[in-house]
């Protein structure tokens, strides 16, 4: 398979009032068309920074991101992002939220009827056909994420960037969303980079799991090939020895090789709690 995305030795240095902070050092990764990649690592290691550089929201200090051999320097619809907190416009219906993206990309190449069919097709893909004329405040958190995914897919991106897309959902809704995403993947074979804190989610969904070292100067520590056949079934996998082996490889990386030692000043008890809850990896 051909390389679609080349993250080529990127460094990211942020200027701060206390001096330069090196968040990423020589992050190097080639992603093939149709691959599903998870980025996992402790809180604050730099996962979102990698995703933001690929999205074109940040410029790497050194190195480059190449999409189909072309350098990425700004955001574009060929790299659609879905964030953890649904970023739908609250005064528009689900349909209208997707319509905005579709008009942005296809208004010159599709007729009004074609756009309508395409919007409905994408909302159906995420099982939102029954609620497409509801506004975000009239639907659940899981449904909002479905609309966010439909909106991203409707742009037919070369790469789908998912920043903890199910992080704010309860466990049951999360499992439904993972199953939906696997169904969509079976059908569309998108190239996906997904940030997650959830080891089971990473093993269930990914072709490769990219495990990042702790920062500062975080980089790729290990890459795990998830050689489980597809389609994957969460119940069958629960007793699958290979699934459990892969799961424990990720856990070993996170909790033995990259054990995070929180150094918290006594005056910062609130931050400690927040960090702990954020880095809770199942």
Ligand X SMILES: Nc1ncnc2c1ncn2[C@@H]1O[C@H](COP(=O)(O)OP(=O)(O)OP(=O)(O)O)[C@@H](O)[C@H]1O
Cβ at position 251, least distance to ligand X in Å? 17
Among 7, 35, 38, 49, binds ligand X (CB under 6 A): 49
Among 20, 21, 28, 124, binds ligand X (CB under 6 A): 21
Q: If binding is defined by CB under 6 A, does position 46 make contact with ligand X?
A: yes
What part of residues 210-239 is at the interface with ligand X (CB under 6 A)?
A: 215
Residue with Cβ nearer ligand X (74 or 137): 74
Q: If binding is defined by CB under 6 A, does position 34 make contact with ligand X?
A: no
Mark the segment that binds ligand X (CB under 6 A) among 15-23, 98-106, 142-150, 178-186. 15-23
Mark the segment that binds ligand X (CB under 6 A) among 41-49, 70-78, 106-114, 174-182. 41-49
Q: What are phi and psi of 218, to 5 degrees?
A: -65, 150
Q: If binding is defined by CB under 6 A, does position 86 make contact with ligand X?
A: no
Q: What are phi and psi of 50, to 5 degrees?
A: -60, -50
Residue with Cβ nearer ligand X (48 or 154): 48
Q: If binding is defined by CB under 6 A, does position 96 make contact with ligand X?
A: no
Cβ at position 42, least distance to ligand X in Å? 7
Q: If binding is defined by CB under 6 A, does position 273 make contact with ligand X?
A: no
**Which residue from 213, 160, 204 is spatially nearest to 35, judged by alpha carbons?**
160
Q: If binding is defined by CB under 6 A, does position 45 make contact with ligand X?
A: yes
Tokens of 19: 């001096």
Q: If binding is defined by CB under 6 A, does position 258 make contact with ligand X?
A: no
Q: If binding is defined by CB under 6 A, does position 23 make contact with ligand X?
A: yes
Cβ at position 272, least distance to ligand X in Å? 14
Angle, vertex CA 94, rays to CA 133 and CA 183, nearest 5: 110
Residue with Cβ nearer ligand X (58 or 144): 58
Q: If binding is defined by CB under 6 A, does position 27 make contact with ligand X?
A: no
What part of residues 115-134 is at the interface with ligand X (CB under 6 A)?
A: none
Cβ at position 193, least distance to ligand X in Å? 12
185 contacts 36 by C-beta, under 8 angstroms: yes
Task: State the binding string over 64-83 for ligand X (x if CB under 6 A, else -).
Answer: --------------------
Query: Is beta strand 70-71 parallel, antiparallel or unpaired with respect to 62-67?
Result: antiparallel
Binding site for ligand X (CB under 6 A): 14, 16, 21, 23, 41, 43-49, 215, 278
């Amino acid at each position: 398979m051909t390389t679609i995305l080349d993250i080529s030795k990127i460094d990211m240095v942020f200027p701060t009032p206390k001096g330069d902070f090196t968040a990423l050092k020589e992050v190097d990764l080639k992603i093939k068309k149709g691959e599903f990649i998870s980025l996992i690592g402790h809180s604050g290691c730099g996962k979102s920074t990698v995703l933001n550089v690929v999205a074109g929201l940040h410029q790497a200090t050194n190195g480059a991101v190449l999409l189909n051999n072309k350098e990425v320097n700004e955001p574009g619809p060929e790299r659609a992002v879905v964030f953890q907190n649904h970023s739908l416009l609250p005064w528009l219906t689900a349909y209208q939220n997707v319509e905005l993206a579709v008009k942005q990309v296809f208004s010159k190449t599709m007729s009004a009827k074609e756009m309508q069919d395409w919007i409905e097709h994408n909302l159906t893909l995420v099982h939102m056909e029954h609620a497409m004329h509801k506004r975000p405040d009239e639907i659940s958190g899981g449904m909002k994420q479905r609309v966010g995914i439909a909106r991203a897919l409707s742009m037919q991106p070369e790469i789908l960037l998912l920043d903890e897309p199910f992080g704010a959902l309860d466990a049951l809704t999360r499992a439904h969303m993972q199953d939906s995403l696997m169904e969509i993947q079976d059908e569309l074979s998108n190239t996906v980079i997904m940030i997650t804190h959830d080891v089971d989610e990473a093993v269930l969904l990914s072709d490769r799991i990219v495990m990042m070292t702790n920062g500062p100067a975080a980089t790729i520590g290990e890459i795990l090939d998830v050689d489980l056949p597809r389609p994957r079934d969460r119940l069958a996998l629960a007793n699958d020895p290979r699934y459990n082996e892969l799961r424990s490889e990720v856990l070993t990386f996170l909790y033995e090789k990259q054990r995070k030692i929180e150094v918290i000043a006594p005056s910062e008890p609130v931050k400690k709690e927040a960090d702990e809850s954020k880095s809770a990896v199942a």
